Amino acid sequence: MKANNIFTALGGVEDRYIEEAAVAARSPASPAPRWMIYARRLVPMAACLVILAASALILIHRTANNGGGAPDTGEMIAGDRKEIAANVGRVSTDVPPQQAPEPANPEPGGSVKYDNEAVDHGYAAAGNASPELEFEIVQAMPGDAAMSIEALTLDAARAIPTLGAYIPQSIPNGFIFESAHRADNVLSVHWSHSYDYIELHISDLTVTQSREHMLPDAIQSGELSLELITARTYTSTESGVDAGKWMARFSVLYGNVLVEVSSKGVSPEALLDMLEFDIPG
Partner 1 sequence: MDDSEIIELYWARSETALRETERKYAKQCHSVAYNILKNREDAEECVNDTLERAWNAIPPARPEKLAAFLLKITRNLSLDRYDAAHAQKRGSGSVAAAIDELAECLPDASANPDAILEGSDITAALNAFLSTLSPETRRVFMRRYWFADSINDIAQGYGLAEAKVKSILFRARKKLKSDLDKEGIIV
Applying CB under 8 A, which residues contact partner 1? 1-32, 217, 227-228, 231-234
Q: Which residues pair with 131 in a beta bridge?
A: none
The answer to whether the beta carbons of residues 202 and 218 sit under 8 Å apart is no
* Pairwise CA distance, residues 2 & 93, whole Å: 83
| CB nearer to partner 1: pick between 25 and 85 | 25
Rounded to a whole number of angstroms, the minimum distance from the CB of residue 216 to partner 1 is 9
Rounded to a whole number of angstroms, the minimum distance from the CB of residue 197 to partner 1 is 18
| CB nearer to partner 1: pick between 17 and 38 | 17
Rounded to a whole number of angstroms, the minimum distance from the CB of residue 25 to partner 1 is 4
The answer to whether the beta carbons of residues 199 and 265 sit under 8 Å apart is no
| CB nearer to partner 1: pick between 11 and 74 | 11
| CB nearer to partner 1: pick between 7 and 195 | 7
Q: Which residues pair with 264 in a beta bridge?
A: 197, 247
Alpha helix ranges (H) inside 10-140: 15-24, 34-65, 73-76, 116-120
* Pairwise CA distance, residues 160 & 88, whole Å: 34
Q: How far is CA 111 from the centre of its chain?
A: 27
| CB nearer to partner 1: pick between 12 and 74 | 12
Rounded to a whole number of angstroms, the minimum distance from the CB of residue 259 to partner 1 is 17
* Pairwise CA distance, residues 179 & 249, whole Å: 19
DSSP string, 212-225: GGGGGGPEEGGG--
* Pairwise CA distance, residues 30 & 16, whole Å: 23
Rounded to a whole number of angstroms, the minimum distance from the CB of residue 241 to partner 1 is 20
Rounded to a whole number of angstroms, the minimum distance from the CB of residue 40 to partner 1 is 8
Q: From residue 57, how far is each of 52, 61, 72 by CA, in Å?
A: 9, 6, 16
Q: How big is the chain, counted in residues?
A: 281
* Pairwise CA distance, residues 86 & 92, whole Å: 18
Angle, vertex CA 2, rays to CA 225 and CA 19, nearest 5 = 85
| CB nearer to partner 1: pick between 139 and 251 | 251
Rounded to a whole number of angstroms, the minimum distance from the CB of residue 240 to partner 1 is 19
| CB nearer to partner 1: pick between 10 and 48 | 10
